[in-house]
Amino acid sequence: MTHPLVVAVRAGLTEAADPVKAPQMQAYMKSDMPYRGVSSLVQKALWRKIFPDHRLASAEEWRDVVLELWRGAKYREERYAAIGLSDLKAYAPYRTMASLPMFEEMIVTGAWWDFVDVIASHQLGDILRAEPRRMKPLMRRWSTDRDMWKRRAAILCQLGFRRETDLDLLYACIEPSLESKEFFLRKAIGWALRQYAWTDPREVRRYVTANRERLSPLSVREAMKNI
């Protein structure tokens, strides 16, 4: 039986659908999955209305509903709803190592930047803060994974940490991809360094200088934007 929250999300997206915007959004995202044509602002308004009306009583129910939205999605906005629900402040206590298999599935099956970057920088970041001793070794393993999106997620998992950034972990997650030719890994490296440059520009300059021969021009350009 479909969970009432899932029913409400699908009904809300159907009502807000814009058939003119839908193909434009799909083309921009280069997505095989179609869109309803619901903008980000309208989506967020829907989630603010729907999610509080369907409180989830346990971590198990929360994971089940997130995955029901994710796995059963016929439109990309339904997966955005799954990500939004999984990132809701009310369910922060549920974002622990126990929820990691769910996020791993979403990263691997989502396999595109609009999904992966939010999950990495928000949900994985929350787990890293909550359980650093278990999460740090796992992110190091992800950084060498065959799956490019898990590697990107490992690089970006501290994106909003600022002064709390563990540089050893950041550099360890960057290292296996330092000479990669994959655009999304090069971009992630530059982005992670650029964010940390807001906190310590001298350190980022030092790192870029020390690794200039190994970093791609894209990574260097992105890393140095704020310096």
Q: Is residue 54 part of a domain?
A: yes
Q: Is residue 211 part of a domain?
A: no
The number of distinct structural domains making up the chain is: 1
Report CA-CA distances (Å) from 145 to 9, 73, 150, 177, 191. 34, 27, 7, 10, 20
Q: What is the pLDDT along the chain (227 residues), one digit of tens a residue?
A: 999 999 999 999 999 999 999 999 999 999 999 999 999 999 999 999 999 999 999 999 999 999 999 999 999 999 999 999 999 999 999 999 999 999 999 999 999 999 999 999 999 999 999 999 999 999 999 999 999 999 999 999 999 999 999 999 999 999 999 999 999 999 999 999 999 999 999 999 999 999 999 999 999 999 999 88
Residue-level pLDDT at 8: 98
Closest CA to 170 of 156, 185, 151: 156
Q: Is residue 74 part of a domain?
A: yes
Please state, for a pLDDT cut of 70, what percent of the chain lies above it: 100
For 135-163, the pLDDT digits (tens) are 999 999 999 999 999 999 999 999 999 99
What is the full DSSP assignment across 110-155?
Answer: H-SHHHHHHIIIIIIHHHHHH-HHHHHHHHHHHTT-S-HHHHHHHH
> Residue 27: in which H helix or E strand, if any?
helix 21-29
pTM of the model: 0.96
CATH code: domain of residue 29: 1.25.10.90
For 96-143, the pLDDT digits (tens) are 999 999 999 999 999 999 999 999 999 999 999 999 999 999 999 999
Where in 42-181 does DSSP place strands (E)? none
Q: Is residue 22 part of a domain?
A: yes
Residue-level pLDDT at 55: 97
- Structural domain that includes position 9: 1-94
Amino acid at residue number 169: L
Q: Is residue 141 part of a domain?
A: no
Q: Is residue 17 part of a domain?
A: yes
Q: Is residue 71 part of a domain?
A: yes
Residue-level pLDDT at 226: 86
Residue-level pLDDT at 174: 98
Show the tokens assigned to 192.
């992670």
Q: Is residue 30 part of a domain?
A: yes
